[in-house]
């Protein structure tokens, strides 16, 4: 009997990672991607010499990326060039305060002494707290499928048990940052990390305070040529391993018969049989659109309406004709009312009146990303998922002007006049481009204890041989976690095949 055939729906990083791990285990793997390019949300747009990464803009935990290449028989260093970023990010507040955070401890200490000397020691206590959380949770909740109870039992140890009161807590990220820091600037800065998984710091579990530790401990990295190079390089290694990748091959249905996944049906009607199917599409979209026979059992219309998605994003891609030397590679321009901003996003479901603005200018590090004398600006604000209250096509022009005006007032004078290339990505556009449920970037929000630790599972409960991979499933969003989801999913397929 020949190798078992596995079909993966979607060529995002999770799908590519799963393909490499499955191929290494001897499976025959085929990926079907509806778009013309691989990468999923990690994608790229190019216009008139300006290049923009449209998804993740930072690499953390590079050893996970290194391992993914190694599984495919390649060396990360032969495929990509990682460049450490210093500073990691430049933060600005409406009152004129500014802080550069660096992975260089001496530089960060000097910045803290200048802005909030009373909190310099608290910063290191906070990182120590995050280190404890990471050490206790990572082996169970990041590197394994904790819904496999036998495996979970093997992972349990005294350190995790001691940390359980901290993990199963009703306290939020904002509660814990207030415990450590007296400076409102630093509280707002470290509350921001809850947005790394599309959640509100005023509702997300305090466990996510481990994210700043991960960034400082493992570094913040850029990929020469743009982060989209990761997707290109992984796809190349996968093809060299024998993985077949089909672009512009939209899937209409995952075929389930007698309680098991039997293959997929393409939009053109062709049926492709498989021994197992992995969906790298958004899990809620998969149930709603690709599994008509399971939808009513798994996610009825009423249940879908009750599920709170993560936030989405409103993004401006701006190519400027002049340099903006006030910018670092990563920049945050904070709002004056952080609680109000997240109430707009998650409670009132409206674009924030006073949004925090993130600006990534990779041209500050990599001149190849913009013509000489110009910058490529990826400008993003967190925004609510798509709802019926308004149409983003109507809102986008005026909201764009508001953001440009805010940046000009914050010191980027002349920005509007220097823009020569422009595009807008709205939550509505995310929903159609990536088949993301309501345009949510990270799947479900982590604004509750249940959602934080109980995302849609790797193994589908409703059908044998059906699996999920990507940022919408365990262990979550972001480059390293999505790559880990591919590894965990491949292990599940192999275990079930045995």
Residue 135 C-beta-side C-alpha neighbours within 13 Å: 12
Q: What are phi and psi of 95, to 5 degrees?
A: -85, 5
Cα distance between residue 229 and residue 239, in whole Å: 15
79 or 150: which leads in pLDDT:
79
Over the chain, what is the mean pLDDT?
91
Q: Are 464 and 6 in contact (CB under 8 A)?
A: no
Q: Cα(207)–Cα(172) distance, rounded to whole angstroms?
A: 8
Contacts of 114 by beta carbon, 8 Å cutoff, 6+ apart: none
The DSSP annotation for 375-442 comes to EEEEEEEEEPPP-TT--HHHHHHHHHHHHHHHHHHTT-TTHHHHEEEEEEE-HHHHHHHS--GGG-SS
Q: 216-270, pLDDT tens digit by residue?
A: 999 999 999 999 999 999 999 999 999 999 999 999 999 999 999 999 999 999 9
Instruction: Tell me if 457 sits within 8 A of 147, measured CB to CB.
Output: yes
pLDDT at 498 over 90: no
For residue range 112-136, what is the model confidence (pLDDT) as tens digits? 999 999 999 999 999 999 998 888 8
Strand partners, 358: 332, 380
CA of residue 153 relative to chain centroid, distance: 29
Burial status of residue 136 (CB atoms within 10 A of its CB: 0-12, 13-18, 19 or more): buried
Give the CA angle between residues 361, 363, 369 to the nearest 5°. 115
Looking at the chain, the whole-number percentage of residues with pLDDT higher than 90 is: 78
Q: 157 preceded by cis ω (within 30°)? A: no
- Nearest CA-CA partner of 403 in 306, 340, 316, 489: 316
Place of tokens 């790797």: 458
Whether the per-residue pLDDT at 137 is higher than 90: the answer is no
Is 226 exposed, middle or buried (CB count within 10 Å of its CB: 0-12, 13-18, 19+)?
buried
Which tokens go with 138?
Answer: 């990572």
Residue 154 has pLDDT above 80, yes or no: no
**What pLDDT is stored for residue 211 in this prediction?**
93
**pLDDT tens sequence across 449-483:** 666 556 778 999 889 999 999 988 888 889 999 99
* Angle subtended at Cα 477 by Cα 475 and Cα 483, rounded to the nearest 5 degrees: 70
Tens of pLDDT, residues 297-346: 556 666 666 788 899 999 999 999 999 999 999 999 999 999 999 999 99
Averaged pLDDT, 73-98:
97
Q: Which parts of 182-260 fold into alpha helices (H)?
A: 184-191, 210-218, 228-240
- Count of CB atoms situated within 10 Å of the CB of 120: 17
Strand segments (E) across 201-311 = 221-223, 244-246, 251-257, 260-266, 271-273, 276-279
Burial class (CB in 10 A: 0-12, 13-18, 19+), 335: buried
pLDDT in tens, 46-59: 999 999 999 999 99
Q: What would the pLDDT profile of 362-406 be if each residue is shown by its tens digit?
A: 999 999 999 999 999 999 999 999 988 889 999 999 999 999 999
Q: How far apart are the first and last CA of the chain?
A: 14
Quote the percentage of the chain above a pLDDT of 70: 91
> In the prediction, which pLDDT does 1 show?
44
Confidence grade of residue 75 (pLDDT, cut at 50, 70, 90): very high
CATH number of 5-44+55-78+226-306+446-497: 3.50.50.60
CATH 3.50.50.60 in the chain, residue ranges: 5-44+55-78+226-306+446-497
327 φ/ψ angles, rounded to the nearest 5 degrees: -90, 145
pLDDT at 296 over 70: no
For residue 156, pLDDT over 60 is answered with no
């Amino acid at each position: 009997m020949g190798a078992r055939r596995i079909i993966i729906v979607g060529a995002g990083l999770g799908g590519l990672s799963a393909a490499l791990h499955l191929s290494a285990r001897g499976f025959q793997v085929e990926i079907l991607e509806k778009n013309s390019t691989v990468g999923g949300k990690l994608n790229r747009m190019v216009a008139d010499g300006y290049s923009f990464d449209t998804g993740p803009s930072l690499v953390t935990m590079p050893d996970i990326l290194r391992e993914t290449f190694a599984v495919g028989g390649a060396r990360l260093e032969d495929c990509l060039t990682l460049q450490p970023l210093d500073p990691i990010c430049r933060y600005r507040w409406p009152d004129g305060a500014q802080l550069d955070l660096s992975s260089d401890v001496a530089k960060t200490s000097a910045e803290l002494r200048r802005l909030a000397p009373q909190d310099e020691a608290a910063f290191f206590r906070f990182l120590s707290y995050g280190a404890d959380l990471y050490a206790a949770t990572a082996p169970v909740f990041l590197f394994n499928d904790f819904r496999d109870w036998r495996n979970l039992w093997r992972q349990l140890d005294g350190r995790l048990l001691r940390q359980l009161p901290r993990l199963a807590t009703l306290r939020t990220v904002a509660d814990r940052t207030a415990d450590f820091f007296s400076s409102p600037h630093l509280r707002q800065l470290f509350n921001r990390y809850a947005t790394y998984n599309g959640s509100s710091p005023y509702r997300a579990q305090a466990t996510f305070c481990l994210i700043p530790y991960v960034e400082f401990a493992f570094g913040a990295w850029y990929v020469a040529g743009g982060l989209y190079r990761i997707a290109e390089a992984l796809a190349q290694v996968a093809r060299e391993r024998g993985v077949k990748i089909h672009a512009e091959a939209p899937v209409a249905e995952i075929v389930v018969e007698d309680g098991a996944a039997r293959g997929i049906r393409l939009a053109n009607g062709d049926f492709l049989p498989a021994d197992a199917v992995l969906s790298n599409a958004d899990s809620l979209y998969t149930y709603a659109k690709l599994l008509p026979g399971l939808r009513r059992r798994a996610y009825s219309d009423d249940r879908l309406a009750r599920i709170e998605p993560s936030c989405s994003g409103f993004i401006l891609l701006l190519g400027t004709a002049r340099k903006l030397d006030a910018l670092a590679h990563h920049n945050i321009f904070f709002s004056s009312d952080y609680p109000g901003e997240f109430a707009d996003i998650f409670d009132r479901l409206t674009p924030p009146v006073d949004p925090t603005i993130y600006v990534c200018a990779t041209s500050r590090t990599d001149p190849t990303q913009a013509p000489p004398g110009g910058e490529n600006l990826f400008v993003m604000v967190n925004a609510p998922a798509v709802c019926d209250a308004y149409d983003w096509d109507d809102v986008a022009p005026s909201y764009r002007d508001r953001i440009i005006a805010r940046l000009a007032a914050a010191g980027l004078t002349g920005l509007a006049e220097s823009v020569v290339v422009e595009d807008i990505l709205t939550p509505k556009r995310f929903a159609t481009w990536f088949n993301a449920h309501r345009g949510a970037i990270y799947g479900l929000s982590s604004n509750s204890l249940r959602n934080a630790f109980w995302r849609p599972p790797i193994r589908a409960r409703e059908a044998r041989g059906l699996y999920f991979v990507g940022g919408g499933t365990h262990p979550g969003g972001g480059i390293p976690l999505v790559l880990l989801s591919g590894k965990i999913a491949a292990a599940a397929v192999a275990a079930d095949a045995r």
